[in-house]
Chains A and B, each alone.
Chain A
Amino acid sequence: MKKYLSNSFGAVMRVREVGVIIPLLIASILFAANSPVFLTSQNLMNIFRNTSFVFITAIGMTYLIISGAFDLSVGPVYAFGGVFAGLLMTNGVPIVLSILIATVVTGGFFGSINGFFVQKIGLPPMLATLASMNIARGVVTGVMKGMPVYPLPDAFAMIGQGSFFKGMSFEIPYVVAIALFLGVIAAFVLKRTVYGRLICAVGGNVETARLAGIPTKVISFSVYILISMLAAFSGILIASRLGSAQPNVGVGYEMQTIASVVIGGTSLVGGVGTIWGTFLGALFMAAISNGMTLVKVSPFWQQLVLGIVLLLACSLDHLRSRLKK
């Protein structure tokens, strides 16, 4: 019996996402026991919606971390995307076109800056994206003088506020549907396409990849553009959700996305990771924030709890990888 237990314990510990599944379950049970609201469909929907805004960018962060790089500039790019789309819309550009232009231009621009300084100049990703983080934030708050773009068209606000099966107990916010759709595509691309394989190769061993004829710099560059586009797009969705595009949203957003990726079991060394794990990571972060508010943990203390949780979840992941050896 003891042996059986230890064997099944070992089997559980070998699942890559164990670092997030166990804490997620524990936290959910604790919150459900202490708050009648936590498990209501309305609240779960809220959690999933909050998850989505982080998850969309965390998809890009997963790719980027697997490819062996890093991006701190996603928060300001998130704000930039929303504000840019808002400005286009309030100046008469059609909604869909505004979203498209804002996503592609914002993502392309900041992605290129990051990619250029990391790949061409050879700066460490941490440094290059720390600089572009400040640049992006500076531009967006400077241009807007800190003021939001408001009001936005009602049809646009529908994207962030509306749902499928509205009013029913299983209503699915559009935002959640969009995030899941992107997640499924991203998981497929990572696992089943040449592009996904190349990302893993570049992050696993960039020199081996280069000698195998892989255009390593092009791959890295493309992932930087991808993550910036996803951040901008996610920023447009949050603007839609809030009904206004604010230049100061997304403070701490880079940490939320990176934490989702890492808690989800993606290795910071590069080469390995899953979109599924990142989704669980983002869900976990959202559930903790939401649950703490429900059980009336002061917002002043929440940050501390999130930090401790991050530390514990990562330690569990680290122990797991040591066990594997």
Chain B
Amino acid sequence: MVKPVLEMKNVSKNFGGVAALKDVSIDLMANEILAIVGENGAGKSTLMKILSGSYHHATYDGTIIINGSPQKFASPTDAEKAGIEMIYQEISMHLDMSIAENIFLGRIPSTAGLVNWKDIFRRAKTFTDMVGLDVPVKESLRNCSTSQQQMVAIARALSRNPRILVLDEPTSALTEREVDLLFEKLIMLKNSGISCIYITHKMKEVMYLADRITVLRDGQFVSTRLKSETTITKTIEEMVNRKITNMYPKRAVPIGEEVFRVENLTVVHPQAANKLIVEDLNFSVRAGEILGLVGLVGAGRSETVNAIFGAITKKSGRVYLDGKELTIRKPKNAIKSGIALLTEDRKRDGFISCMSVAENCTIASLDQVSRNFLLDESGEKTIALDYIHKINIKVAGEKANIMSLSGGNQQKVVLAKWLLTNPKVLLLDEPTRGIDVGAKAQIYEMMCDLAAQGKAIVFISSELPELIGMCDRFIVLGGGKIRAEFARGEADEETLLHYAVVS
């Protein structure tokens, strides 16, 4: 019997009377990648915060055993000393420092206060080599791509000589190709003796990467299974405790006339004035149709929908709705014409964090809840409650602050905001990013309802399975141009990816 590297036994933690973890036990073997999965609020983050020493050992019950010896962590430093390194969802590094400085941040070696840069660069290089990062260590982090930054984060973790690496949703900002690269490195690390705990929502990654899978639900341990003994469907069922017959509730709805057409859309690259990010793009969407925009990050998908909506300026191009050409110079024009854009990053530009659920719902259609510039608060309440029920937003009341909601429910509020404007065309940019499986299913369901009502939908996602599951038609973008077009059923993941990657 192999002895585990790490055991967490009977861990329980309460937050002010609410149990976040109830008697959870996990173990991690040498040379193993263990995936921990669960919906938002299942307790994954709390468990990892306990492991990383973020919570003082007196604030929870249970024991942590590393290589057979019990540990009492009072701070993250203690956990680091025990060989545990965390790599968080949001990369916390200094963009204007060099790669080398970031790797040794907070513990730059010095002799009598003098820093031996030559030595630091040399040592930093050994760690970047280890993760296969092919960028000079003197380069500032700002000039690195997201995946390269992620690699630097891993290199930094490695420089502390860890035995256990914890990764929390490391791929949310990466393209598929970058994800592959990361996985290759993780498997290499595993084989060199570093065990990994991998936290994610993405089932495909779990099935590819993990040796064993632990499922948590509502703060409780559900199961730990060898990958070979379980399936995606089974894991998801365990996560949500209900049978999901079909992840994607796609319904066949009659597809009507062409509603929306874009001609010769050209957009200048946001960072380089002499480059085009979208070039002479033409496409159309029909009533009831869900059109998928496939492409890697940087292929011009977001820029396409943002330019249509008037959120960024287009160099040229025409947009038609019901055969009539629209003049869209700013978002207001687009909204008035019946176009809605759900943006990629809801925290950045989807909702207003100091406002309530109701206020966020009505912010794009205040004319509906006001008369002669006076707000009709009871009307606003009625409308907000209506949507809270209709699209099943889990919230204490319409006056609750939006920050008190989970990511999935926040996203539903943002969607409600756009539905209130009564759009004919919905541009959905990564609508399911960073939300849990249950909420995802509800967003899919809403998309089907909207299609059934005859709306035209443009759907952007970096997760190919959901595109394939939901769309009637696909356009593959690459280098700002259309590379291929497929109808539903004509293309599988590999084909789409092939056209997205190969120019």
Task: Spell out A's residues near B (CB within 8 Å).
Answer: 192-198, 200-201, 204-205, 207-215, 267, 270-272
Q: A192-B375, A213-B335, A215-B332 are in contact. Are A207 and B349 (CB under 8 A)?
A: yes
B338 to chain A, nearest CB (A): 12
B375 touches A205 (CB 8 A): no
A95 and B349 alpha carbons, distance in the complex (Å): 49
Within 378-397 of B, Cβ neighbours of A (below 8 Å) are at none
If A194-B370, A204-B354, A267-B354 are given as contacts, then 10 extra A-B residue pairs at C-beta distance below 8 Å, sorted by A number, are: A192-B377, A193-B370, A195-B373, A197-B366, A200-B355, A201-B355, A207-B348, A209-B352, A212-B364, A213-B330
B352 touches A271 (CB 8 A): yes
A230 and B374 alpha carbons, distance in the complex (Å): 23
A212 touches B375 (CB 8 A): no
B331 touches A212 (CB 8 A): yes
A-B contact pairs, 6 of them (CB 8 A): A197-B366, A205-B349, A205-B351, A208-B351, A212-B331, A213-B334
B358 to chain A, nearest CB (A): 11
Q: Is the interface of B mostly helix, strand, loop or mixed?
A: mixed
B178 to chain A, nearest CB (A): 26
Q: A197-B359, A215-B332 are in contact. Are A204 and B370 (CB under 8 A)?
A: no
A213 touches B375 (CB 8 A): no
A192 touches B355 (CB 8 A): no
- Which chain B residue shows the least CB distance to A273? B354
Chain A residues near B377 (CB-CB < 8 A): 192
Does B164 touch A at the CB level, under 8 Å? no
Chain B residues near A208 (CB-CB < 8 A): 349-352, 363
- Which chain B residue shows the least CB distance to A324? B401
A220 to chain B, nearest CB (A): 15
- Which chain B residue shows the least CB distance to A202? B352
A214 and B364 alpha carbons, distance in the complex (Å): 8
A215 and B335 alpha carbons, distance in the complex (Å): 13
Partner of B354 from the list A192, A194, A198, A200 (CB cut-off 8 Å) is A200
- Which chain B residue shows the least CB distance to A212? B364
- Which chain A residue shows the least CB distance to B334? A213
A259 to chain B, nearest CB (A): 22
Chain B residues near A195 (CB-CB < 8 A): 373
A213 touches B336 (CB 8 A): yes
Q: A192-B374, A201-B352, A271-B355 are in contact. Are A211 and B331 (CB under 8 A)?
A: yes
- Which chain A residue shows the least CB distance to B332? A213
Chain B residues near A272 (CB-CB < 8 A): 354
A120 to chain B, nearest CB (A): 16
Chain A residues near B355 (CB-CB < 8 A): 200-201, 204, 271
- Which chain B residue shows the least CB distance to A188? B374
A26 to chain B, nearest CB (A): 29
Q: Which of A204, A212, A213 has the most CB of B within 10 A?
A: A212
Partner of B352 from the list A192, A204, A213 (CB cut-off 8 Å) is A204
Q: Which of A207, A208, A267, A270 has the most CB of B within 10 A?
A: A208
Q: Which of A200, A213, A215 has the most CB of B within 10 A?
A: A213
Does B353 touch A at the CB level, under 8 Å? yes
Q: A208-B363, A211-B311 are in contact. Are A193 and B373 (CB under 8 A)?
A: yes
A272 and B366 alpha carbons, distance in the complex (Å): 19
B311 touches A205 (CB 8 A): no
Partner of B341 from the list A194, A197, A204, A211 (CB cut-off 8 Å) is A211
Does B201 touch A at the CB level, under 8 Å? no
- Which chain B residue shows the least CB distance to A204? B352
Does B343 touch A at the CB level, under 8 Å? yes
Does B44 touch A at the CB level, under 8 Å? no
Does B417 touch A at the CB level, under 8 Å? yes
Partner of A212 from the list B336, B348, B363, B373 (CB cut-off 8 Å) is B363
- Which chain B residue shows the least CB distance to A191? B375
- Which chain B residue shows the least CB distance to A205? B352
A213 touches B364 (CB 8 A): yes
A66 to chain B, nearest CB (A): 10
Q: Which of B332, B336, B417 has the most CB of A within 10 A?
A: B332
Partner of B375 from the list A194, A207, A209, A270 (CB cut-off 8 Å) is A194
B366 to chain A, nearest CB (A): 5
Within 283-314 of B, Cβ neighbours of A (below 8 Å) are at 309, 311
Chain B residues near A205 (CB-CB < 8 A): 349, 351-353
A204 and B348 alpha carbons, distance in the complex (Å): 11
A161 and B62 alpha carbons, distance in the complex (Å): 73
B469 to chain A, nearest CB (A): 28
A41 to chain B, nearest CB (A): 38
A12 to chain B, nearest CB (A): 19
Chain B residues near A200 (CB-CB < 8 A): 352, 354-355, 359
- Which chain A residue shows the least CB distance to B311? A211
Chain A residues near B353 (CB-CB < 8 A): 204-205, 271
- Which chain A residue shows the least CB distance to B346? A208
Within 311-349 of B, Cβ neighbours of A (below 8 Å) are at 311, 330-332, 334-336, 341, 343, 348-349
- Which chain A residue shows the least CB distance to B371? A194
B343 touches A211 (CB 8 A): yes
A212 and B366 alpha carbons, distance in the complex (Å): 10
Chain A residues near B354 (CB-CB < 8 A): 200, 204, 267, 270-272
Which 10 residue pairs spanning A and B have beta carbons closest together?
A: A271-B354, A213-B332, A212-B364, A204-B352, A207-B349, A205-B352, A213-B335, A204-B354, A194-B370, A212-B363
Chain A residues near B336 (CB-CB < 8 A): 213
B370 touches A212 (CB 8 A): no
Chain B residues near A196 (CB-CB < 8 A): 375
A194 and B354 alpha carbons, distance in the complex (Å): 17
Partner of A210 from the list B331, B350, B351, B374 (CB cut-off 8 Å) is B331
Chain B residues near A194 (CB-CB < 8 A): 366, 370, 373-375
A194 and B350 alpha carbons, distance in the complex (Å): 20
A224 and B171 alpha carbons, distance in the complex (Å): 44
Chain A residues near B350 (CB-CB < 8 A): 208
Chain A residues near B417 (CB-CB < 8 A): 212
A209 and B364 alpha carbons, distance in the complex (Å): 8
Chain B residues near A271 (CB-CB < 8 A): 352-355
Chain B residues near A201 (CB-CB < 8 A): 352, 355, 363
- Which chain B residue shows the least CB distance to A210? B331
A198 and B334 alpha carbons, distance in the complex (Å): 19
Chain A residues near B332 (CB-CB < 8 A): 213-215
A195 and B372 alpha carbons, distance in the complex (Å): 11
A209 and B343 alpha carbons, distance in the complex (Å): 13
Chain A residues near B351 (CB-CB < 8 A): 205, 208
Chain A residues near B366 (CB-CB < 8 A): 194, 197-198
B348 touches A213 (CB 8 A): no
A209 touches B363 (CB 8 A): yes
Chain B residues near A193 (CB-CB < 8 A): 370, 373-375
B350 to chain A, nearest CB (A): 6
A210 and B335 alpha carbons, distance in the complex (Å): 11
- Which chain A residue shows the least CB distance to B348? A207
A171 and B477 alpha carbons, distance in the complex (Å): 75
